[in-house]
Structures are given as structure tokens and as C-alpha cells.
Amino acid sequence: MLASTFMKPFALVACAVALSGAALLGTLRADAQSTTTPGAPQNDRDSAARLEAGKELAEVMSKDTFVPAVAQITSRAWPKVEQELRAKNPGIDAASIADLRKEFERIQVEFLLDLMKDAPAIYARHFTAQELRDLVAFYRTPLGTKTQQVMPYLSGEIMGLIIPRLPDVISRTNDAFTKILSQRGYKL
């Protein structure tokens, strides 16, 4: 089905971008019980300033992170999409294929940017306004720019390692946890 052919690459892009964002910002830890990280701002006195700085950080990072990530993941996934398009549309020409690929990438970037619209509030929960301004300043340096350019590719490579192994990890985790539950007399 063409829908699953399209959704799989989009899911990979979303994961890669999420990994890129987490790696770009460092290791953010979200506790199930808490919405802040250790050392995060605890008062609302500067929440407006933190949110504004979070918006600036999101602007600096989003486009530069998403476009290369989408392009990289699409380059890996597109051959299968193109094969299915050609199989179901034998008369489709190369120009139409190229145009559809551009549209596919544009749509993904648009949707990912929409998904990230709440990121500034998340950044503001975990960083002070000054820390966010420092991150913005860093991402405007040559190393920060390179980090934004390289991280999506690194994340894509990491996702390439993770995705094929994930079913086995999930299965082994379930088996190990089921064994522990059984040893302790619990059922799930």
C-alpha cells in the first residue's frame, strides 16, 4: 500500500529529527512525574523571557535541522516510493517523479515544523532564559552551524542502526521483564 510506503519514511524523519533535537540540546531527561529537569528554573518570574528565548532557539534550529534530515531520510526511502509509484503509474515521467519528491519533502518539513510549534515551551521548562540565549548564540557560531548541519545526518545513521534492531530489543525487553514479573509472582 502506498500510504505505508509514505508513512514509514515520514516516521523515520520524525524520529531522526527528534534525535537531532535532543542531541543538539544535550541530554534532556523527562521524568514521567516531573516536567522539569534537575537545575531547571523553578519560578515563573522569568517564564515570559524563557519562552521568548525558547522561540528564538526553535527558529534558529528548526529549518536548519529539518530540511537536511528530511532530504537524507527521503534519499534512503524514496527508491521504494518511486518503485511503487512507477508500478502503479507506468506512464509517469522523470520530471513528475522529481516534482513529487520535492512535494513529499516539502510536506514533511511543513508537518514537522507544525509538530515542533510547542518546542519553545518545552525548552523554557528545562533551561533558563540565559541558557537559551547562550544556546542561540552557540548555534550562530561556525561550530554551532556545523552541528546543526551534521547532526541530522548522524541521527539518520543512528536511526539506521536502531530501526532494524528495535523489534529484537522490544522482544528481549518483554521477555526479560516478563521473567522478572514471574519471579516476583506478578502477572501482566
DSSP 40-54: ----STTHHHHHHHH
Would the pLDDT of 28 be above 90? no
How far apart are alpha carbons 65 and 62 in whole angstroms?
5
Nearest partner of 67 among 25, 27, 24, 16, judged by Cα: 16
Would the pLDDT of 102 be above 60? yes
Mean pLDDT of all residues belonging to the chain = 80
Q: Contact at 8 Å (CB) between 66 and 112?
A: yes
Which pLDDT belongs to residue 149? 82
Nearest partner of 149 among 96, 82, 72, judged by Cα: 72
**Is residue 86 very low, low, confident or very high in pLDDT (cuts 50, 70, 90)?**
very high
Q: What is the DSSP letter of 35?
A: S
